[in-house]
Structure 1
């Protein structure tokens, strides 16, 4: 049996504001924007080239026995790109407040790109949900 991660719920205070940020500034595509029941709206967005989407929910009850996540409480979300400099330039051009490219070094986060798998940049959405972007090599078939 395959278990695939295909949707991550991102807690936000304003679904329209978050949708605008992820679509217009980060470049995600809109898969679904639908009211599924009175007072419950689901907006599902997908990064270009990804099978995993994010879901912005309004009015949806939390899972049984679980407290709902507070807007801005999600961190550690990670996107991968094959050209971090180009990805950063695109985000900056679209108005995203993104960190410089950094790498993990002997003293912690150090400025500039690192070796393979060791180049990162960081940004947050309007609610403070934290994203990491990591440069990963292209699949062997694409090199």
Structure 2
């Protein structure tokens, strides 16, 4: 049996603001925005990831207070380049910390407008061996 995590629910207070933050400033791909009489939700995926975030008005999203998700983790091949990209897009990010000189021991962090926090870990091996191959538009093969 293969089990995979494919969606993480992210509690936010303003869906439009959060979509703009994650799409335009962090660089996630907006997979879909669904608004109807039942829900108002958005799903976004980091380029190269098999796991997306979902925000909006689904019942499970309403059970968590906006800004209470802590320490979600992204992995990049180059922490300095990733941090510079975020700073260039207006995202406040912490300084880079090296907890261990081995690959995987370098981190920085950032928060979304509600205060949900992210850790960004550098794993240099991802540059040559991504977990999922990418299509030409930067999305993962599904």
Give the TM interval when normalised to the shorter protein: 0.7 to 0.9
1 or 2, which has the higher helix percentage? 2
Q: 1:13 to 1:139 in 2, by over 3 A?
A: closer
Q: What corresponds to 2:59 in structure 1?
A: 61
Q: Distance in 1 between matches of 2:10 and 2:45?
A: 12
Within 5 A, what are the aligned runs for 1:103-118? Answer: 103-104=98-99, 114-118=101-105
Q: Which has the larger radius of gyration?
A: 1
Q: 1:99 to 1:69 in 2, by over 3 A?
A: same
Q: What corresponds to 1:34 in structure 2?
A: 34
Runs of 5+ consecutive residues of structure 1 not aligned to the other structure:
106-113
Residue 100 in 1 paired to residue 95 in 2?
A: yes
Q: Distance in 1 between matches of 2:94 and 2:81?
A: 14
The offset of 1:42, in angstroms, is: 1.5
CA RMSD in angstroms comes to 2.1
The offset of 1:141, in angstroms, is: 5.5
SS in 2 for 1:30: strand
Q: 1:17 to 1:86 in 2, by over 3 A?
A: same
Q: Distance in 2 between matches of 1:116 and 1:45?
A: 28
SS in 2 for 1:120: strand
Residue 23 in 1 paired to residue 23 in 2?
A: yes
Q: Distance in 2 between matches of 1:85 and 1:139?
A: 14
The offset of 1:138, in angstroms, is: 1.8
Q: Distance in 1 between matches of 2:107 and 2:127?
A: 21
Aligned length: 130
Structure 2 length as normaliser, TM-score? 0.84
Residue 77 in 1 paired to residue 72 in 2?
A: yes
Residue 120 in 1 paired to residue 125 in 2?
A: no
Structure 1 length as normaliser, TM-score? 0.84
Runs of 5+ consecutive residues of structure 2 not aligned to the other structure:
131-142
